[in-house]
Amino acid sequence: MSNNANRVFQVVNARIVTPSGVIENGALTVIDGIIADIRLSGEEQDASASKLPVIDAKGNWIIPGFIDVHVHGGAGHDFMDANEEGIRAITKFHAANGTTSLLATTLTASREDLTAVLDRVSRFMSATMPYTQIIGVHLEGPFVNVKWKGAQNPAYILPPQPEWLDEWVRRFPGVIKIQTLAPESEGSLAYIEKLANNGIVPSCGHTDATYEQIIEAADHGLRHAVHTFNAMSPLHHRQPGTVGAVLTDDRITAEVIADGHHVHPAGIKLITRAKGTHNVILVTDAMAAAGMPDGDYELGGLPVHMSCGVARLKETNSLAGSTLTMISAVQYLVREVGVTLEEASRMASANPARQLGIEATTGSLEVGKAADFLQLSDSLELEAVWIKGTKFDN
């Protein structure tokens, strides 16, 4: 990213997407990486603000930076085995595609390997992060259902292990933000309560749970569903399954992968109409192959082949994560699904911030929040990225 001189400036002549609507011909002032003011361009302001460096947005959109709560890697690297250089490459790639904050997401693996990921990521978080900010870890597995394993390695699937969580919370306080499990597995309800009591969002995924089991899990604290429709018991009019519970229980926020491969546009419309755009979170589920050419890769130790940008397990031909970026997902929602940019922005920024409990500091463009924002052209092409008021320089 560029130097800190860019942390004090004003963006003018912009269409600014805020929680209360779009400000046409707006001006956004940044002081020390924080949004200090939002108003109409040309409105009277104090003398000091009028002397700030000015960036002319030329009528383009200014929207909040994206927060990706489910991302495994990118640029040829995976959080499961990436060293500091690899993590830096992942965050640089996603910064270039509009993600200003993310959760480093794991896969089903051994206790030792998952602990090692938590250790590497927590150390990376403790230093200055030059690109996308890692704000925690999303543990996807290993307490899932082998029937819906998808790209999760079945060799390491097992029931919830409370003592693992005790160790992780003690050694890495505040690092785990979400954990995904199968609520029908033995001991899962008590484990869900344990997650919630530790400030971790309990999530369902890779699950064969019935409608009734998901509702019961929500009674115990379940609040999130990963990649809705994918790797979960499907909707049937007499057996609503996991999908039916996720769509109808307002306590559960639904992730969606909007890449045209994981969910049909009509399926995404169904999710947004059932949940409302305030209760849907846009994610990439991106793997190491994101941003890379077609070829052979690995996901959680399983061989994957990517063709035409679509990654599938070699053994089963199942979808294996994605190569999606957040800017591409937002563009897909607007162009193919028909949501407004304001609605897409809510699903990509405000909703994940609220789910993670960080909405007071980021996720929307409001005075006092971090200057995490993007400039998009009228056709929604990404023009510029600012992270904490510092412009990203690819």
Nearest residue to 182 (alpha-carbon basis) of 266, 239, 242, 244: 242
Angstrom distance (rounded) from CA 348 to CA 326: 8
| Residue tagged 């910064």 (tokens) | 95
How far is the C-alpha of 73 from the C-alpha of 83, rounded, in Å?
12
Give CA–CA dist 247/253, Å, rounded: 9
Q: Is 240 left (phi over 0), alpha (psi -120 to 50) or beta?
A: alpha
Distance of CA 12 to CAs 27, 52, 63, 319, 377, Å?
4, 11, 13, 43, 14
Tell me the C-alpha distance between 257 and 260, whole Å.
Answer: 8
CA 93 to CA 270: how far, in whole Å? 31
| CA–CA separation, 199 and 201 (whole Å) | 7
Catalytic residue among 32, 285, 294, 296: 285
The answer to whether residue 285 is catalytic is: yes
- Tell me the H-state helices in the chain: 47-50, 84-95, 111-126, 162-171, 188-197, 211-219, 241-248, 265-275, 326-332, 341-345, 351-356
Q: Distance (Å, rounded) from C-alpha 190 to C-alpha 302?
A: 31
Which residues form the catalytic set?
Answer: 285
